[in-house]
Amino acid sequence: MSLVMLISVVTCVGTAVALFLLIRKSLQSGPLPVTAEWIDELSLERYRPMMRLLDSRDIEYLLGQPGFTPRMAARLRAQRCQIFRGYLRSLSADFDRVCAAIKILLLESRQDRPELASVLMQHQFMFASRMLLVQVHVFFYRWGLCSVDVTGLAKIFDRTQLELRKLVPATVLDGAGA
């Protein structure tokens, strides 16, 4: 079998598996807390600590302090990675709920919005791609080999939740504050 054929087969199988997992994940989403309060709570502020959690400057500073050993740095990196992964799970769950809420609102809408459906699919693909990249970087960060930047992931989440806010009638959101 030629190398080109092998690469093509592996690529097709990988794409099929990714598509299957994406579809399965979207069908398994739990109950949607699509309330005005929940929508108001959606904010990047909730994930602000995550943005700085894996900043390598903290560990570099600590390594310059007397008594702080490379072993302690490794343990601190491992702990921070564990906390960071918790934030990633929460961000991913919130993103999935936002996407599911948008899908429900699109289905219930009296007006067809194919452009929004297309944008939503793009956001889901970009989010999944960025999430995979961040996970790889977290793995390497754990061993002190690279840094982790989640700004791209956060921007996709922010844009998607803004789309949800546009879809929800203003009266629903105003009624929550009253």
pTM (predicted TM-score): 0.71
Would you say 6 and 119 are in contact if contact means Cβ atoms under 8 Å apart? no
Where on the phi/psi map is residue 144: left (φ > 0), alpha (ψ -120 to 50), or beta?
Answer: left
Report the distance separating Cα 121 and Cα 78, nearest Å: 34
Considering only residues 38 and 159, tell me which one the structure prediction assigns the higher pLDDT: 159
**pLDDT for 146-155, tens place per residue?**
889 899 999 9
DSSP 27-59: HT------SHHHHHH--GGGGHHHHHHT-HHHH
Task: Collect all residues with Cβ–Cβ distance below 8 Å to 104 and sequence separation of at least 6.
Answer: 32, 34
Residue 168, pLDDT score? 75
- Tokens representing residue 8 in the block: 């093509």
Residues above pLDDT 90, as percent of the chain: 30
Report the distance separating Cα 83 and Cα 87, nearest Å: 7
**pLDDT for 11-45, tens place per residue?**
777 776 666 666 666 555 555 556 667 666 777 78
Residue 84, pLDDT score? 94
33-47, 72-86, 158-172: segment of lowest average pLDDT? 33-47
Report the half-sphere exposure of 8 (CA within 13 A, side-chain side): 5
Residue 171's pLDDT band, with cuts at 50, 70 and 90, is very low
Report the distance separating Cα 78 and Cα 83, nearest Å: 9
Residue 153, pLDDT score? 92
Domain boundaries, the chain: 52-173
pLDDT at 123 over 60: yes
- Tokens representing residue 159 in the block: 């844009």
How many CB atoms are closer than 10 A to CB 156?
21
Report the distance separating Cα 80 and Cα 74, nearest Å: 10
Considering only residues 91 and 171, tell me which one the structure prediction assigns the higher pLDDT: 91
